[in-house]
Amino acid sequence: MAYNKLIRALMIEIPSVPGSLGKVATAIGLCGGDIGAVETIKVGTAYTQRNITVQIENEEQLDKIIKSINDLEGFRVRAVSDEVLRAHEGGKVQMKSKMPIQSLADLSRVYTPGVADVCKVIEAEPEKAKIYTNIGNSVAIVTDGTAILGLGDIGPVAGMPVMEGKSALFDQLVGINGIPILLDTKDPDEIIETVKHIALGFSGILLEDIGSPHCFEVEERLKAELNIPVMHDDQHGTAVVTLAAIISACKSTGVDLKDATVGQIGLGAAGLAICRMLMAYGTKSVLGADRSQEAKDRLENYGGMPVDSLEDLMSRCDIVIATTGVQGLIKKEWVRKGQIILALSNPKPEIEANEALEAGAAFAADGRSVNNVLGFPGIFRGVLNAQSDKVTHAMLVAAAEAIAACTKPGDLVPQPLDRSVHEQVAEAVEKVARNAK
């Protein structure tokens, strides 16, 4: 889900006595900071120097954290750095040749005159482009910049760091060439026509950070008009990982997901896709609430049941998922004893997990664990391996089940950089894709 916190690295001088690191952690936590990596830089007789990465909502919160640490006797924040900006300098991806070109013989093989022979082979048998070019292993990552993380419509150029991130993950996790494509139009017709014109160079299209409601039209029309797989990650990538999380939560609490009544609060791109995934999985009763009548009509068309009142939805559902971006939307008194509640908005959920548990929920979690990166790399690796021309709900359900199967007891989902998880997802998707041919 959307996640727009700031990340800063604090270099802190800490007294070398037991409990000192705990005091720093407490100071950061009381100010609302979220601690990430902790790295020991130098260990001395009197002081230990550590780099502590902290996620914050704004610079004012950072100032409070620094003051709180400096107010501790013997503690000192020596430096603050923005490691994220430094990591993005010059971009995160690059195009590189797989072959060394160090002689005229090399040149003649990779370019002229030898390349002409390859062109003639492809002209005669176009399907061989997947053998003799990188088309068979390339996916276009397409955005119009209208729904970048939790930042909204900030434009395609400002969204490029996200597209580069997707590209880097494709490469590192499953060996796919992900090529960012930035479009300077929000018009669905223009987006569709542009993607259709460039599609020859790719074996898949990943739509990314395209806003609702035009994302639905763009995806559906491209799926109908192209003969390569198309997937909108904000819809289906989120839905896959959410379904995996729900399966894990049900295992922990002994709930039968297929017989449960599930409520979805927020029927935007992610919310509607989650509902469709649940129904594809076999959940018999899926309810949904949203302020938009158009969104509720869409849910009804897909086979779900729209409701008008959040309180009504909470009273009727065994499992509740929220993707609204509205902090504190779910009231503590609405929580039913034994409910499973996944409030997935970041950085602030619709209800804090500890509040939901205090109110009687059997299981509660926020969106920090539900990361799309667990889904899209393996899904596309699987469809490319199978040379499938589409991504189906059966493939997406298989991906979710594979993620859930890799989840350790007590966890919601696996660690997102565990390559074995992505391999399992790819194998599950490929199996379904091949069986469907």
List the chain pLDDT tens, one digit each, 437 residues. 445 678 999 999 999 999 999 999 999 999 999 999 999 988 888 999 999 999 998 999 999 999 999 999 999 999 998 888 888 888 999 988 989 999 999 999 999 999 999 999 999 999 999 999 999 999 999 999 999 987 889 999 999 999 999 999 999 999 999 999 999 999 999 999 999 999 999 999 999 999 989 999 999 999 999 999 999 999 999 999 999 999 999 999 999 999 999 999 999 999 999 999 999 999 999 999 999 999 999 999 999 999 999 999 999 999 999 999 899 999 999 999 999 999 998 778 999 999 999 999 999 998 877 888 999 999 999 999 999 999 999 999 999 999 999 999 888 999 999 999 999 999 999 999 999 87
- Cβ neighbour number for residue 194 with a 10 Å cutoff: 17
| CA atoms of 332 and 312, how far apart (whole Å) | 14
Question: CB–CB of 3/346 below 8 Å?
Answer: yes
| CA atoms of 12 and 10, how far apart (whole Å) | 6
Report field, pTM of the whole predicted structure over 0.85 = yes
Structure-token pair, residue 300: 């009804």
| CA atoms of 162 and 382, how far apart (whole Å) | 23
CA-wise closest residue to 92 among 171, 5, 8: 171
- The set of catalytic residues is 111, 166
